[in-house]
């Protein structure tokens, strides 16, 4: 992709021109960012931009710099707080802003080589209407979002601190959007699973939205996993309130050691006590998967959430139960252990691991 | 996915790299000619633009300085630079890359507030456009309609404000603020 610039040696006047020219490049980049911010580029403008970017390394650099500076203004002005439609502030109904995000096909999730276990990401800043300019492959995309988006790759587990002192452990192949405002702290879970430890603030409830499901916390720790028919909530500390829009009055409390399922259509189901099960199911936060009598099929499905190398299980073995603790990023070790436990065999190829009857 | 990656890179640059540009320029001025400084800075950002993943980068400052240093070395090899003590300055630059001074650490933390002050100090109409655009989240078109301006004017104001902010990023704290104060008093609408 690099375009080499041939530069002859410079005379004094030429070097002065060059200084102007370099300054002009920065100005031009700012003008492009402003133009893109105004409206999506038409084909002719896009071609013009592509050509400008392709013609010189410095143009590409200046463009990234100007885009980042524009983005920095978002962060800076956000310090003043987020202005929301006053009519909706505070009521659960406002949480149903439509965020239409295309659901990617399962194959689209980029895979991490190794999970970035518990790597620290920079601070997330809250509030403000953020408009970011995208540097798309062929030219320029344009993305207008309402908040800060976080996405993990396949197998990646990431810890993210929030500016209010809360933090989240974000599991494999998860995408969520953080939108903190003065009166409410909102997280939209588009897909996947995350565990939240919420800093206490009764004046600023923390709400996770997963489809129609809602979980509200005041000072608690809990996980939410977004599934096809609903959201699974597990509480490790404190109490949360769950419901499904639009039936905002139909709420249930879920306490520490309990799990509950919120159906998108039918709403929250009764909580179930299962402290040990919850602790096991949250072992991913430490990069582990723990099974205590789980079927081989379920265990394999769990591994497949984290790895491109998929485990397939012979139907004859699918219902066998296994016990053990494994690393999320070692499906091969799991296959080896499981095979030994069940007196089965396993075969590894490029893309999959098969566990079959001997 | 590619677009998401590039967005992440851009956000990382905004948070972790821009604040170190001014110190980098100070260092570069000791080693290369004035006209080359801008080129090296822009080319450094170009290298960064080629990254697909920045999550592994521990220090934006170190990455920026190291990238720039590499570009300086390339120029030395092509014999574009004639400057005594270049090697010594390069070595000092290495140290600067890893260990920011306490002032620089403090400056990093204050960056957002500084940008905020700069935005507040823009010429009045420019500032209003910025505020409506960024704080209230109106589109440029909506800003134009609300303020009774043409969309072209609004776009120009956005560009103008951004240029001033970029200059401030390049200059670092004091000079930029002085420039803004001057701009605010005589600033053309």
How distant is the Cα of B168 from the closest Cα of chain A, in angstroms? 10
Residue with tokens 């939240």, as numbered in its chain:
A196
In terms of Cα–Cα distance, which of A169, A171, A116, A179 is closest to A149? A179
What's the CATH code, domain A147-278?
2.60.120.1440
CA angle A221/A227/A229 to nearest 5° reads 120
- For residues A228 and A243, the answer to whether their CB atoms sit within 8 Å is no
Residue with tokens 């590499």, as numbered in its chain:
B70
Tell me, what's the pLDDT at A283?
92
Tell me, what's the pLDDT at B82?
46
Q: What separation in angstroms does the CA of B183 have from each of A28, B19, B90, B159, B163?
A: 20, 22, 36, 15, 13
Instruction: Please say if the pLDDT value at position A31 is more than 60.
Output: yes
Q: What dihedral do alpha carbons B170, B175, B181, B186 form, nearest 10°?
A: -80
Crossing angle of the two packed helices A12-38 and A57-78, in degrees rounded to 10: 50
Q: How many beta-carbon pairs under 8 angstroms link A with B?
A: 195
What's the CATH code, domain A287-357?
3.55.50.30
Instruction: Please say if the pLDDT value at position A161 is more than 50.
Output: yes
User: How many residues appear in chain A?
Assistant: 358
Please count the other Cβ atoms lying within 10 Å of the Cβ belonging to residue B141: 13
Tally the C-alpha atoms within 13 A of residue A350's C-alpha that lie toward its C-beta.
Answer: 0
Q: How far apart are CA B118 and CA B121, in angstroms?
A: 5
Tell me, what's the pLDDT at B85?
62
> Residue A189, SS3?
strand
In terms of Cα–Cα distance, which of A28, A159, A168, A115 is closest to A305? A115
- Using the Cβ of A54 and the Cβ atoms of chain B, whether some distance falls under 8 Å is answered with no
- Using the Cβ of B18 and the Cβ atoms of chain A, whether some distance falls under 8 Å is answered with yes
Tell me, what's the pLDDT at A122?
20
> Are B137 and A83 a contacting pair at CB < 8 A?
yes
> Are A26 and B155 a contacting pair at CB < 8 A?
no
- All residues of chain A having their beta carbon less than 8 Å from the beta carbon of residue B35 are 10, 15-16, 18-19, 22
> Residue A117, SS3?
coil
- For residues A221 and A200, the answer to whether their CB atoms sit within 8 Å is no
Instruction: Please say if the pLDDT value at position A268 is more than 80.
Output: yes
Minimal Cβ distance to B6: which of A23, A69, A135: A135
> Are A65 and B165 a contacting pair at CB < 8 A?
no
Model-level ipTM above the cut of 0.90: no
Lowest mean pLDDT among A32-36, A248-252, A254-258, B111-115: B111-115
Q: What are phi and psi of B152, to 5 degrees?
A: -60, -45
Q: How far apart are CA A342 and CA A314, in angstroms?
A: 12
In terms of Cα–Cα distance, which of A271, A267, A261 is closest to A244? A267
Reported confidence tier of residue A208, pLDDT bands at 50, 70, 90: very high
User: Model confidence over B151-185: pLDDT tens digits?
Assistant: 999 999 999 999 988 988 898 765 444 444 444 43
Q: How far apart are CA A8 and CA A6, in angstroms?
A: 7
Instruction: Please say if the pLDDT value at position A10 is more than 90.
Output: no
Q: How far apart are CA A217 and CA A28, in angstroms?
A: 47
Q: How far apart are CA B140 and CA B149, in angstroms?
A: 10
- For residues A182 and A81, the answer to whether their CB atoms sit within 8 Å is yes
Tell me, what's the pLDDT at B102?
58
Q: How far apart are CA A198 and CA B33, in angstroms?
A: 52
Tokens at A136, concatenated:
């798309």
The larger pLDDT score, comparing residue A333 to residue B108, is at: A333
- Using the Cβ of A66 and the Cβ atoms of chain B, whether some distance falls under 8 Å is answered with yes
Interface of B with A in 138-157 (CB under 8 A): 140-141, 151, 154-156
Domain ranges of chain B: 2-100, 104-186
Q: How far apart are CA B6 and CA B54, in angstroms?
A: 10
> Residue B78, SS3?
coil
Tell me, what's the pLDDT at B172?
77
User: Model confidence over A48-107: pLDDT tens digits?
Assistant: 888 888 888 899 999 999 999 998 887 666 654 332 222 223 323 222 222 222 233 333
Alpha carbon B78 to chain centroid distance?
27
User: Model confidence over B16-51: pLDDT tens digits?
Assistant: 899 889 989 988 888 887 888 999 999 999 999 888
> Are B10 and A71 a contacting pair at CB < 8 A?
yes
What's the CATH code, domain B104-186?
1.10.10.10
- For residues A271 and A254, the answer to whether their CB atoms sit within 8 Å is yes
> Residue A228, SS3?
coil
Instruction: Please say if the pLDDT value at position A127 is more than 50.
Output: no
DSSP A317: T
Q: What separation in angstroms does the CA of A218 have from each of A186, A188, A206, A238, A285?
A: 12, 17, 6, 8, 22
How distant is the Cα of A183 from the closest Cα of chain B, in angstroms? 16
Tokens at B189, concatenated:
């609408």
Lowest mean pLDDT among A190-194, A297-301, B82-86, B130-134: B82-86
Tell me, what's the pLDDT at A299?
94
CA angle B155/B159/B162 to nearest 5° reads 140
Residues 6+ apart with CB under 8 A from B188: B123
- All residues of chain A having their beta carbon less than 8 Å from the beta carbon of residue B127 are none
- For residues A282 and A171, the answer to whether their CB atoms sit within 8 Å is no
Mutation for testing the A interface, residue in B6, B29, B141 having most A CBs under 10 Å: B6
- For residues A150 and A160, the answer to whether their CB atoms sit within 8 Å is yes
Q: How far apart are CA A173 and CA A151, in angstroms?
A: 7
- Using the Cβ of B41 and the Cβ atoms of chain A, whether some distance falls under 8 Å is answered with yes
Tell me, what's the pLDDT at A354?
94
> Residue A254, SS3?
strand
């Amino acid at each position: 992709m690099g375009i080499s610039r041939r530069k002859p040696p410079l005379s004094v006047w030429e070097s002065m021109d060059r200084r102007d020219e370099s300054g002009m490049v920065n100005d031009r980049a700012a003008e492009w960012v402003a133009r893109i911010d105004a409206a999506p580029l038409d084909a002719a403008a896009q071609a013009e931009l592509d050509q400008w970017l392709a013609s010189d390394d410095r143009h590409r650099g200046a463009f990234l710099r100007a885009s980042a500076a524009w983005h920095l203004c978002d962060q800076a002005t956000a310090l003043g707080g987020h202005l929301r439609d006053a009519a909706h502030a505070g009521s659960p109904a406002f949480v149903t802003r439509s965020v239409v995000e295309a659901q990617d096909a399962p194959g689209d999730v980029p895979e991490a080589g190794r999970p970035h276990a518990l790597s620290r990401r920079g601070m997330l800043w809250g509030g403000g209407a953020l408009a970011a300019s995208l540097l798309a492959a062929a030219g320029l995309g344009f993305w207008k979002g309402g908040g800060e988006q976080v996405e993990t790759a396949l197998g990646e587990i990431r810890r993210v601190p929030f500016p209010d002192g809360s933090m989240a452990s974000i599991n494999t192949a998860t995408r969520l959007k953080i939108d903190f405002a003065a009166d409410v702290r909102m997280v939209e879970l588009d897909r996947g699973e995350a565990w939240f430890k919420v800093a206490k603030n009764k004046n600023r409830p923390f709400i996770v939205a997963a489809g129609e499901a809602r979980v509200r916390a005041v000072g608690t720790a809990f996980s939410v996993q977004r599934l096809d028919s609903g959201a699974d909530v597990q509480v490790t500390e404190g109490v949360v309130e769950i419901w499904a829009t639009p039936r905002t009055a139909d709420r249930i409390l879920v306490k520490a050691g309990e799990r509950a399922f919120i159906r998108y259509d039918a709403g929250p189901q009764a909580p179930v006590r299962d402290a040990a099960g919850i602790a096991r199911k949250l072992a991913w936060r430490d990069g582990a998967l723990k099974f205590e009598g789980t079927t081989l099929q379920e265990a394999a499905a769990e591994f497949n959430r984290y790895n491109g190398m998929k485990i397939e299980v012979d139907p004859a073995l699918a219902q066998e139960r296994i016990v053990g603790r494994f690393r999320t990023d070692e499906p091969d070790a799991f296959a080896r252990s499981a095979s030994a436990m069940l007196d089965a065999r396993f075969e590894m190829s490029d893309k999959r691991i098969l566990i079959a009857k001997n | 996915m590619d677009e998401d990656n590039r967005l992440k890179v851009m956000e990382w640059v905004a948070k972790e790299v821009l604040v170190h540009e001014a110190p980098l320029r100070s260092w570069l001025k000791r080693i290369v000619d004035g006209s080359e400084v801008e080129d090296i800075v822009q080319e450094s950002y170009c290298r960064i633009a080629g990254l697909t993943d920045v999550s592994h980068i521990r220090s934006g400052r170190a990455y920026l300085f190291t990238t720039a240093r590499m570009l300086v070395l390339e120029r030395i090899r092509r014999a574009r630079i004639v400057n005594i003590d270049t090697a010594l300055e390069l070595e000092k630059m290495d140290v600067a890359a890893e260990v920011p001074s306490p002032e620089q650490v403090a400056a990093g933390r204050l960056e957002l507030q500084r940008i905020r002050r700069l935005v507040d100090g823009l010429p009045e109409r420019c500032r209003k456009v910025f505020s409506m655009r960024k704080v209230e989240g109106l589109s440029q078109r909506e800003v134009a309609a609300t303020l009774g301006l043409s969309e072209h004017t609004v776009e120009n104001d956005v560009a103008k404000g951004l240029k001033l902010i970029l200059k401030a990023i390049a200059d670092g704290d004091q000079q930029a603020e002085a420039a803004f104060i001057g701009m605010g008093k005589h600033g053309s609408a």
